[in-house]
Chain A
Amino acid sequence: MASKTSQAERMINLLALLVQRSQPLTLRQIRNELGAQYPSGNVAARAAFERDKKELREMGIPIEMVTLGGDSAGEGAYKVDRRSFELSDLGLTDAELKALQLAAATVRIGANHGEAALWKLGGERALNKPLTSVNIELDDEMMPVLAAGIVERRILHFVYNGENRSVHPYGLLSRGGFWYIIGFDDLRNDRRVFRVDRIEGVITKDEPKSFKRPADFDLSKAVPTEQELLRDGDGVSKTAIVLVDASLAPRVRAEFGQVSVAKERADGSIEFEIPCANMAAFRVWLFAMVERAEVLSPPEIRSQVRAWLQDMAARNDQS
């Protein structure tokens, strides 16, 4: 071997050696095997070896150290079991791998992690811009710590709304262009939902298995949809009849379904029965249609809407 070996080359040779040998090797034995690849001085060689070992471990290669007995008592030796870092065969069929490739070509989640997964499965990333695409982007730097939190059950620590939070992450949900962490918040002593893009600064994580996820936790129901938000409140009435002009009625029907149609009028306008228990959410929904929608009943909701409008019409923001 050349005496001037790059660190990358030396790391590959070190890994190859440790994988090939069934017995643990001491640093002295490793240096003998690798020839002049490590510096000649003991201190420099140890430093270089420690750096190689650390970087290989960070790649997911578990280099184990064992303490020898007998003539070498107390000396550290190193080994790597290839089964501990090699991917086991998932038994994917060619068609299944192609389906995953197609999914990865269509759905964008970040620059690297999904593609790396595909390569490891023997697949390929799509090189052309797809004709269909879905964007559920999650910050590439943040993804490992979030995934470790939920998969390995590590408590996560971060700043949210200016407060330090310690969260037991039960799951991650992507909806409406945002990612959410759903979990138990130590600060509030209750279950909370956190929007990932609102997390300030760096997320740190505890050790694996630092919390238990409740058996009855249902991720799909953890974050309310817009329609559920309309239903979730203490309003005086649970539903309102809203007349929507013909121009917008098809869109409301598509949003709330045929079951929400109370009456179809001859001019194409439709009376819908819409949840309104959460009046703040109801206002945002109703006024998106401006003058093309009108609450017909019940009287108390109609009065409330009229009061909102009167209050706003009387507003003087000129100063």
Chain B
Amino acid sequence: MILGRRRGPRGAAERVSGLLVMLPWLMERKRVKLADMAKQFKLSEAELIDDLMMAAVCGVPPYSPDALIDVFIDEGEVIAEVPLLFSRPLQMTTAEVFALTSMGIAAQQLPGATAKGNLATALVKLRRLLPSAQDVVSVDIAQVPLVGDFLHAVETGEQILITYFSPVRADRSERTITPRQVFEDGGHWYVAADDQLSGERRVFRIDRVEKLQNLGTFVTPATGEQGGEIGDDAEWFNDSMQQVTLLVAPRARWVVESYPYISRTKNSDGSAQITMAVSSEHWLGRLLLRAGKDVRVVEPVEMRDLGARTAAAVLKRYV
């Protein structure tokens, strides 16, 4: 299935495979607004009209009007009321069953999903399309406290007071926020919210919210299409941030994989030299301490002893 790809003129296979999906979908609905259908299938209206007009002259011999696919456009509506051909959808590909099953399994772990709800029973039916009774795909979504509270606040528009811990600055702050969107990415949950303190849209990692208090004041809830400036912990490439170059041994590959870097050079011994932006000395000291001798600061020179200084500070607890 190759609908929706936008790489130059569409080939015959792309147009045909698209029609074989669109026609049964359309015949089930009978009438759909042209603009809505084009948007649904990621086509321009002109492309959709081209495809439907082509379908309208296809059929079976003798290609008389009653032997053609009965689809036409009238006053901005696409109409297909008499199914002759292609009224049933194609079988799903293995990748399509896999993708939808994975989405369902992930959604089953979100607040509000139940073991016997509609999604659960839909997944049971979908799994019949897989040849094996065994589970072949598993999705673990991080279970973090407060996600449900933020979701509720997004839906209701309720303002909340949070106590937020920032490891970047190694401090915490109280903020009044209006949650606008909750999302999971890279194994972490985030809330994008209007932040009263900064007056801007900010993104907070939910597992760093230590306390949450409902304020009982409400604003207009979000309605979708909400964006979110990535803020706080995610401002890795801000120009004002310090850039450091680290030499990372193969055993500390997790450093390269866990944090965004600006550039990376692989060395013949398996080590890597990476340049990254760091938001505070405390944050870098923490990274060096965790990695031990497997990570070394190359530049700037004045930070080469940061790991030693951080270790000496922690060592005071052990004397």
Contacts and interface: CB of A to CB of B under 8 A. Distances in A.
Bound pair (A, B): yes
Given A133-B183, A135-B185, A171 B138 contact: yes
Given A114-B99, A151-B136, A287 B289 contact: yes
A9 B100 CA distance: 31
B155 interface: yes
Interface in A295-312: 302, 305-306, 308-312
Interface in A80-108: 82, 85-88, 90-93, 95-100, 102-104, 106-107
Contacts of B121: 93, 96
Contact of A219 (B94, B107, B138, B282): B138
Contact of A119 (B21, B118, B207): B21
Interface stretch (A15-23, A64-72, A185-193): A15-23
A174 B139 contact: yes
A314 B308 contact: yes
B96 A120 contact: yes
Contacts of B69: 12, 16
Interface string B114-139: 00011101100110111110111111
Contacts of B222: 131
B238 interface: no
A151 B138 contact: no
Given A20-B60, A99-B117, A107-B103, A55 B122 contact: no
B301 A176 contact: no
A7 interface: yes
Contacts of A217: 134
A232 interface: no
A263 interface: no
Contacts of A171: 135-138
B276 to A, nearest CB: 17
A144 B95 contact: yes
Contact of B183 (A33, A120, A135, A138): A135
Q: Bin the interface of chain A by size.
A: 35 or more
Given A33-B61, A177-B186, A58 B13 contact: yes
B318 interface: yes
26 contacts: A12-B16, A12-B55, A16-B86, A59-B90, A87-B89, A96-B118, A100-B100, A106-B107, A106-B110, A109-B99, A114-B99, A119-B89, A129-B224, A131-B154, A147-B94, A170-B136, A171-B136, A174-B139, A175-B140, A177-B185, A177-B187, A219-B136, A288-B167, A288-B290, A309-B314, A311-B292
Interface of B: 1-5, 12-13, 15-17, 19-22, 24-25, 28, 39-41, 54-55, 57-61, 63, 69, 85-86, 88-100, 102-104, 106-108, 110, 117-119, 121-122, 125-126, 128-132, 134-142, 144-145, 151, 154-155, 165, 167, 170, 172, 180-188, 207-208, 210, 222-227, 254, 282, 285-286, 289-293, 296-297, 301, 304-305, 307-308, 310-318
Interface of A: 1, 6-9, 11-13, 15-17, 19-20, 33-34, 55-56, 58-61, 82, 85-88, 90-93, 95-100, 102-104, 106-107, 109-122, 124-125, 127-136, 138, 143-144, 146-148, 150-153, 170-178, 213, 217, 219-220, 247-248, 250-251, 254, 283-284, 287-288, 290-291, 294, 302, 305-306, 308-318
